Amino acid sequence: MEKQFFLNHSRIDVYFKQSKDDFVVTEIPLYEFSGEGEHMILKIRKKDLSTWDAVQILSDTIGCKSRDIGYAGLKDKNALTIQHISINKQYKEQIEKFEHPKIKILEITYHNNKIRVGHLKGNKFFIRLKRVEPKDVMKLENILGQIATFGMPNYFGFQRFGINGDNYLKGKAICEGTLKEKNRKLKQMYLNSYQSYLFNGWLSKRIEMSKLVNAFEPNEIAQKLNMTVEQVKELKSQPHPFKVLEGDVMSHYPYGRIFFAEDLESESTKFNLQDRVPTGLLAGKKAKLAIGEAWKIEEEFNAETIVDGTRRFAWVFPSEISSNYSEERNHFELEFTLQKGCYATELIRELVH
């Protein structure tokens, strides 16, 4: 699937490959650890290992079951990552003796409960782009400025779809009953990939629609969008380039309740102020569906799945964005923070097209 870019600049030629030297992820915990309790909280630094790999190594080494080790989120394999995991303090002696060339324990503290998936606020990223020509530096900085102002699409990254990019097809087949998968973890991964594929398709369609509204006069595209000229005029007057539709399921940002968009002028203004955002559907049971104009597009990307559905922010606002250029090495380095569930590689994709 070709995903629509949000911004309109031409491609910038750089070299980027995820590696422990050029891609660093630091987890931001959801809460402060109490310093006491039954669970050891290990702050670990790992390289060239997925979170599952690291958990399995720790499990095999200290003699506990992997399911008894808690973690807040899955971190990239091809990176240097810093994250927190929890292990019952009965394994304190084994942990103190633990050594591994790809895992280093940086700190140990304690807490009264196990870390669960989702127990994180976000992630801070350091990324190095190479072979960046001096003529492109100002362009990159200007694009980062636009992302800081308007945010970016909250696409799922390529990592969600497997090595060959086709995990969503297995998820679709499972939903349709033409494929059986006995491995529970693999089955869930395939189903999530199918939900993500549908979400990306919807978001790309909405960005395409928004770009048409921004680029043409209302009377030129009203019929193409199956809207009245007045409806298109209202969309065009919205301050943010991504247009809010009547019936969108909105959410307060960065967290809060969801509700339907009714007063488009008010909702689009607050969206532009980063106070709330439209959400997209992760198809499944129990999910809240859009209504009105928003449903006309969402309906195309709704599907019956065998998992529970939910909503996902369509748009996110990276924070703490900074950059530095080394003309001697032609390296462009940037840092930024994203909330949990967002893909840093999508910011790079939008940046360099």
d(Cα 311, Cα 177) in Å, to the nearest integer? 25
The two counts, helices (H) then strands (E), for the chain are 10, 14
Residue 209 to residues 191, 254, 335, Cα–Cα distance (Å): 28, 25, 31
Catalytic residue among 13, 21, 68, 76: 76
Strand intervals (E) in 11-79: 23-29, 39-47, 70-71
From the list 90, 107, 93, the residue with the least C-alpha distance to 42 is 107
3-state secondary structure of 251: strand
Q: Which residues partner with 312 through β-bridges?
A: 280
Residue 2's alpha-carbon distances to 148, 149, 155, in angstroms, are 24, 25, 12
- C-alpha span between 147 and 144 (Å, rounded): 5
Distance CA 14, CA 11 (A): 9
φ/ψ bin of 226: left (φ > 0), alpha (ψ from -120 to 50), beta (otherwise): left
Sign of the dihedral through C-alpha 211, 217, 221, 225? positive
> 76 catalytic, yes or no?
yes
- Among the listed residues 62, 67, 130, 60, the one whose alpha carbon sits nearest the alpha carbon of residue 90: 62
| Cβ contact 61:98 at 8 Å | yes
Query: Which of 203, 202, 180, 161 lies closest to 306, judged by CA?
Result: 180
Whether the link from the prior residue into 254 is cis, omega within 30° of 0, is yes
> Do the Cβ atoms of 115 and 83 come closer than 8 Å?
no
Angle at 259 (CA atoms; ends 244, 156), nearest 5 degrees: 60
Please choose, from the candidates 322, 346, 324, the residue with its C-alpha nearest in 3D space to the C-alpha of residue 335.
322
The catalytic site residues sit at: 76
